[in-house]
Amino acid sequence: MFRASVAAGFLVAPAYVFAFAVSPPTPIQGEAILLRFPEPVSQVRVAGGDAPMVHVGTSSVALYAFGLTTRAGSYPVSWRDMHGGRATSTIFLTSRTRSSATMDIPKKLGGTTAKNAKRVVSLLEKENTKIMSLRSHTKQLWSEAFILPLLNPVVTDPYGYIRETAGAEITHKGTDYRAAVGTPVMAMNRGIVRMVRASPVYGKTIVVDHGQGLFTLYMHLSRISVSTGELIERGSVIGKSGATGYAEHPHLHVSVRLSGESVDPVAFLKLFE
């Protein structure tokens, strides 16, 4: 079942109302959305970007990600209907309340100094560039709902706030879950392992490609039990949680990326409830 509200969309011609459903009903910055149409459609575009069609169970939906820094406001939605006609409508993006907290840099990463904060930010940029350059399979590699990566998921740090550390601002673009070192971490869905790496800030990291530009990332692991290129099933154990990289305490950091945007993993999972 999808939680949805109905937004009116209008065909250019002929003049009858063509409705589609949006989940969540009022998306905010940094959230992915699902658009569900009552008849087959193709080439769905939101805000000028492609919204790939995905099949979940028996539903066919379009998936799109609003970036955390995408300006709030109205955005166009367009699609091609089964007669080949182009139809358009609009969707409204609500702004997210900005919040911040101070955070220290662990001693193992050099401690909380301005110089070190700059170094951490530059390391992060390098790691993000690497992740952004990963290719994604052109086809959807999954078919069932996304699931949580832990059996006992407790959020310790949410998505989307700014961490201030020695003059630098680092936005938390994922969700942290409580996890003692050695807790089994499961793949949130079927996909191909696209990257396995130990990096200074993200620690031991696994990037799983689900196809069509959709990735899930698992960070600060103590152990990785998959290899690059491996096809993995939903719920399979891919590693164990830890405290490697920029982690003051053991936890699991999860990121969900779609079309280059890191979206709120908790809100993303709700799309499939």
Sequential DSSP letters for 167-188: TEEEE--SEEEE--TT-EEE-S
The residues near 188 (Cβ < 8 Å, ≥ 6 apart) are: 146, 147, 148, 149, 208, 216, 234, 254, 256, 269
Q: With respect to Zn ion, which residue has the nearer C-beta, 108 or 115?
A: 108
- Residue 211 or 265: the one with the smaller Cβ distance to Zn ion is 265
Site string for Zn ion, 116-155 (x = CB under 5 A): ----------------------------------------
Rounded to whole angstroms, how far apart are CA atoms 4 and 24? 6
Short-list 157, 131, 103, 151, CA closest to 266: 157
- CB closer to Zn ion, 61 vs 201: 201
Q: How far is the CB of 172 from Zn ion (least distance, A)?
A: 6
Q: Tell me how far, at minimum, the Cβ of 20 lies from Zn ion, in Å.
A: 34
In the complex, minimum distance from the CB of residue 217 to Zn ion, in angstroms, rounded to a whole number: 10
Q: Give the contacts of 71 (CB within 8 A, at least 6 positions apart).
A: 93
CB of 203 to Zn ion, least distance (A): 10
Residue 227 CB, nearest distance to Zn ion (Å)?
24
Segment near Zn ion (CB under 5 A), from 6-14, 23-31, 78-86, 167-175?
A: 167-175
Assess 253 for contact with Zn ion (CB under 5 A): yes
Q: How many residues bind Zn ion (CB under 5 A)?
A: 3
Is 176 a binding residue for Zn ion by CB under 5 A? The answer is yes
Smaller CB separation from Zn ion, 176 or 209: 176
Nearer residue to Zn ion within complex by CB, 194 or 253: 253
Separation CA 25–CA 20 (nearest Å): 11
Cα(221)–Cα(244) distance, integer angstroms = 6
CA atoms within 13 A on the CB side of 106: 14
Instruction: Assess 240 for contact with Zn ion (CB under 5 A).
Output: no
Please, what sign has the CA dihedral across residues 263, 208, 189, 19? positive
Residue number, 33 or 254, with CB nearest to Zn ion? 254
Q: Which residues bind Zn ion (CB under 5 A)?
A: 174, 176, 253
